[in-house]
Amino acid sequence: MLINLTLCFVLDEPTIQKDHGQPVIRRLTLGSNATFTCDVESGHPKPEVNWYFGWTDTLKKVDPVYDARYSHPTDETWLITGVQTIDKGKYRCIATNKAGQDDLRFEITHVDGKLLHVKLQYA
């Protein structure tokens, strides 16, 4: 008896959820913390997610090497602790696997100063 087995490997391109638009525009407050999410909905094998400065270049990753305020609590999230005006700009996440890639762009358009609470006293 001869048994013929066929193995099939399914590849599926990564898909990132884009419910908040493309690009995701954020206005932040100086000194606050900001979390960005690259929500990968699908992809097989599991996609690798990387974060980059700018929308066109993939040479400079968003990494604590460049600024200790940056961290990745999970593969799909990026956290800025203590937002500063220098954080204003364009970023993107790219989900990649053997089948392809998908990306999501982010832009920090403004970094507003902290609100000051002033107590007025009348004489």
Write down the domain spans for the chain.
26-112
Tens digit of pLDDT for each residue in 43-59?
Answer: 999 999 999 999 987 77
Contact 101, 13 (CB under 8 A): yes
Please give the pLDDT value at position 57.
79
- Residue 69 backbone dihedrals phi, psi, to 5 degrees: -75, -15
Q: Is the pLDDT of residue 120 over 80?
A: no
Q: Check residue 67 and give its pLDDT.
A: 87
**62 C-beta neighbours (distance < 10 Å), count:** 21
* CA distance from start to end of the chain: 104
Residue 39 has what pLDDT?
Answer: 94
Average confidence (pLDDT) over 61-85: 91
Q: Reply yes or no on whether the pLDDT at 117 is more than 80.
A: no
Which one is the CATH code of 26-112: 3.90.1300.10, 3.50.20.10, 2.60.40.10, 3.30.565.10?
2.60.40.10
User: Residue 95: is its pLDDT beyond 90?
Assistant: yes
